[in-house]
Amino acid sequence: MRFSTLLRKELRECLPWLLLAAIVFLAVGGFVLHLEPYDENYNYRYSRISPCDILSCYDLTYYPILQVTGPWLLLSSIGLGLVLGVRHFWIPHFTRTWPFLLHRSANRQTILAAKLTAASIAFIISLGTLWFGFYWYACRPEVFAVPQTLRVFIEGWIFIMLGFVVYLGTALSALSTANWYTTKIFGLLLATVIIVTTLSQWTLAGIFTAIAVGVAVLLSQIFDTFLRREF
């Protein structure tokens, strides 16, 4: 009852931002998907390839269409993570509502869990559902000549998870009382940057492991800081 009340409140605070992220990704991603099938260089030749044709190396460099929307998904995800982190953890500082939120018949773990759950739901509802929708649309045989791979679909979820990592990083930066350059988040941010830059060279399993470790470290730090922090 108390958790669900807190969750509803946190979700309501997320709502405008999750809608914005969804609209941006739907509009841009949808636009890209809509235009791409008419790109002669992409689809036209593929539709005329017969089993007897000799394919050049150039022809083989074509990628699944869904990959074109990837950067937009990553941008939307990081943007959403940043905004939700600010909304959930920085704004209560500015508006000084932490004492009002914390003094109630719910412990701090419950209050924090509600915020994190709301953020997870926001990511899944806005970007996750859309990504699934795009994948489903792109997989239909009559739409695109080049088949969509499961790898591309999983890569999308990695981008969504990176947005959640940014959310956790923003949360920790709001809760930490140390100087920015002495915080553990500084090191973690560096690590995140390194992860992002090496994403393309990693195997999916490697990327997942790195993100899972990052999320686990950030979560344990956030819980520890939140439970001991002064408001």
Partner 1 sequence: MTEIVLETKGLTKYYGSTLAVDHMDLQIPRGCICGFVGRNGAGKTTAIKLMLGLLNPTAGSSKLLGCDSSALTPAIRQRIGYVTEGHRLFRWMSIGGLEKFQRAFFPKQWDDKFFADMIEYFNLPKKQKIKHLSNGQRAQVSLALALAPNPELLIMDDPTLGLDAAIRRQFLEGMIELIMRQGRTVLFSSHILGDVERVSDRIVVIDKGVLRANCSLEQFQKAIKKVILSFADSVPDEVNIDGLLHCKRSEKQLELTLIGTDDEKISEWAKSAGAENYQIVKMNLEDQFIEFTAPANHKRLFQWEER
- Give contact residues for partner 1 (rule: CB under 8 A): 1-2, 5, 9, 12-13, 95-100, 102-107, 228, 230-231
Amino acid residing at 78: I
- Closer residue to partner 1, CB minimum distance, 104 or 151: 104
Instruction: Give the C-alpha separation, 28 to 32, whole Å.
Output: 6
Cβ-based nearer residue to partner 1, 6 or 172: 6
Q: Which two tokens stand for residue 90?
A: 């920085």
Q: Min. distance of Cβ 15 from partner 1 in angstroms?
A: 10
Q: Which is nearer to partner 1, 112 or 188 (CB)?
A: 112
Residue 68 near residue 74 (C-beta atoms within 8 A) = no
Min dist CB 8 to partner 1, Å, is 8
Report in angstroms how near the CB of residue 156 gets to partner 1 at its nearest.
32
In the complex, minimum distance from the CB of residue 220 to partner 1, in angstroms, rounded to a whole number: 20
Quick check: 222 and 175 in contact, CB under 8 A?
A: yes
Instruction: Tell me the three-class secondary structure of 49-97, residue by residue.
Output: CCCCCCCCHHHHCCCCHHHHHHHHHHHHHHHHHHHHHHHHHHHHHHCCC
Q: Which is nearer to partner 1, 20 or 196 (CB)?
A: 20
Q: Which is nearer to partner 1, 34 or 228 (CB)?
A: 228
Measured CA to CA, the distance from residue 195 to residue 162 in angstroms comes to 10
Minimum distance of partner 1 from residue 107's CB (angstroms): 6
